[in-house]
């Protein structure tokens, strides 16, 4: 076993009714047992409201991960999937941890436990392929977009995941922060259009929220796809979000307009969506 190749996994536990103290105790038990199987539990996220825990673990195999759980406390993982380190860092971030190994949220959340729920946001420049603009004007518009979006991401504690060529994909711990970021982007672009009227920059924005691992065993797979589809479905200057995003923003004073169910490519069932009424948002 000493020469076994180590792989990074995320395991998912259904812990309905568990307290943070009980999860801490189970994790400490894992740490005490892990050396016997050449396993290393790195950190974990706990969503107490949904009774879900997500553990990041380095191990020679999924079987070794389960052996640690079986002998430490008997609470077996529902699923164990292999993950790429760079994807974990991009979507979930590094994350400060508590002494028990629980990932904490930073900033306005006041170092509360991170639930691992993420809101994924896409921007898309309207008319980015318009050849009539010319290369110089097109690059200038792209530069304006990138600066405004990145400034808004910094202000909202968002993480840029990648540049798509005509937009940016980002991840947020807070759904409300994602919505406020989208609002700030549109307001800044509207101000820019008033000052630079020759080539105004308009964008579409879409956002969706979900747990790290969906039914396809992919890190934020369906959530990313939905956010991208919502962005493509949006009108210029519009922000479309999944209903989950709106629900996560309850009590935050953010105005949404229910647009009902829409059919989106790649989804078998209609998706309930809402628009952010950003022009009047606080």
The pLDDT assigned to 194 comes to 87
Which strands form 40-47's sheet, in the order they lie side by side?
Answer: 40-47, 52-59, 7-14, 79-82
**What are the sequence ranges of the domains in the chain?**
7-109, 118-280
List the pLDDT tens digit at each of the 282 positions of the chain: 445 689 999 999 999 999 999 999 999 999 999 999 999 999 999 999 999 999 999 999 999 999 999 999 999 999 999 999 999 999 998 878 999 899 998 765 556 899 999 999 999 999 755 555 656 677 888 999 999 999 999 999 999 999 999 999 999 999 999 999 999 999 999 999 888 767 788 999 999 999 998 767 789 999 999 999 999 999 999 999 999 999 999 999 999 999 999 999 989 999 999 999 987 444
Asked if 212 contacts 92 with a C-beta cutoff of 8 angstroms, the reply is yes
Distance in angstroms (rounded) separating the CA atoms of residues 45 and 153: 23
In this predicted structure, what is the pLDDT of residue 261? 97
Domain 118-280 bears CATH identifier 3.90.1150.10 = no
pLDDT for position 3: 55
pLDDT of the residue at 132: 53
Buried b (16+ CB within 10 A) or exposed e, 188-216: bbeebbeeeeebbbbbbbbbbbbbbbbee
* CA distances for 149 relative to 24, 77, 94, 161, angstroms: 38, 39, 22, 13
Smallest CA-to-CA distance from 39 within 15, 72, 78, 13 is with: 72
The b-or-e profile of 243-278 (16+ CB within 10 A means b, else e) is bbbbebbeeeebbbeeeeeeebeeeeeebebbbbeb
Separation between Cα atoms, residue 173 and residue 162, nearest integer Å: 17
Which pair of structure tokens corresponds to residue 93? 């971030």
Helix (H, G, I), strand (E, B) or coil at 130: coil
H/E run at residue 99: none
Stated pTM of the model: 0.91
What CA dihedral angle connects 93, 100, 83 and 246, to 10 degrees? -50
CA angle, residues 169, 270, 128, in degrees to nearest 5: 35
Predicted confidence at residue 280, as pLDDT, reads 46
List the structure tokens of 121.
């946001």
Q: Do 118-280 and 7-109 fall under one CATH topology?
A: yes
How far apart, in whole angstroms, are the C-alpha atoms of residue 139 and residue 71? 58
Q: Which residue pairs, CB below 8 angstroms and at least 24 apart, start in 107-112?
A: 107/157, 108/157, 108/174, 108/177, 109/173, 109/174
Residue 215 in contact with residue 267, Cβ under 8 Å? no
Q: Which residues contact 6 (CB under 8 A, 6 or more apart)?
A: 38, 40, 58, 59, 60
Q: What is the CATH number of domain 7-109?
A: 3.30.70.3090
Strand-strand pairing, 7-14 and 52-59: antiparallel
pLDDT computed for residue 249 by the predictor? 96
């Amino acid at each position: 076993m000493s020469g076994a190749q180590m792989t990074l996994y995320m395991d998912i536990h259904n812990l309905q009714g568990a307290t943070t103290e009980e999860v801490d105790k189970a994790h400490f038990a894992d740490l005490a047992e892990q050396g016997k199987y050449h396993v290393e539990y790195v950190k974990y996220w706990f969503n107490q409201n949904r009774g879900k825990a997500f553990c990041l673990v380095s191990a020679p195999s999924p079987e070794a991960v389960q052996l640690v759980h079986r002998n430490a406390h008997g609470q077996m993982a529902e699923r164990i999937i292999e993950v790429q380190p760079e994807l974990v860092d991009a979507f979930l971030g590094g994350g400060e941890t508590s002494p028990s190994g629980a990932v904490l949220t930073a900033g306005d959340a006041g170092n509360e436990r991170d639930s691992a729920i993420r809101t994924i946001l896409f921007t898309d420049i309207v008319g980015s392929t318009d050849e009539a603009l010319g290369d110089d004007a097109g690059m200038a518009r792209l530069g304006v977009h990138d600066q405004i979006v990145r400034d808004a991401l910094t202000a909202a504690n968002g993480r840029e995941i990648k540049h798509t060529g005509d937009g940016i994909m980002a991840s947020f711990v807070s759904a409300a922060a994602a919505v406020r970021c989208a609002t700030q982007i549109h307001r800044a672009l509207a101000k820019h259009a008033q000052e630079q009227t020759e080539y105004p920059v308009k964008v579409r924005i879409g956002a969706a929220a979900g747990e790290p691992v969906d039914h396809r065993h992919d890190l934020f797979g369906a959530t990313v796809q939905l956010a991208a589809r919502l962005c493509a479905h949006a009108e210029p200057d519009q922000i479309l979000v999944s209903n989950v995003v709106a629900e996560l923003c309850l009590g935050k004073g953010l105005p949404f307009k229910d647009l009902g169910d829409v059919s989106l490519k790649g989804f078998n069932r209609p998706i309930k969506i809402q628009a952010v009424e950003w022009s009047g948002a606080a």
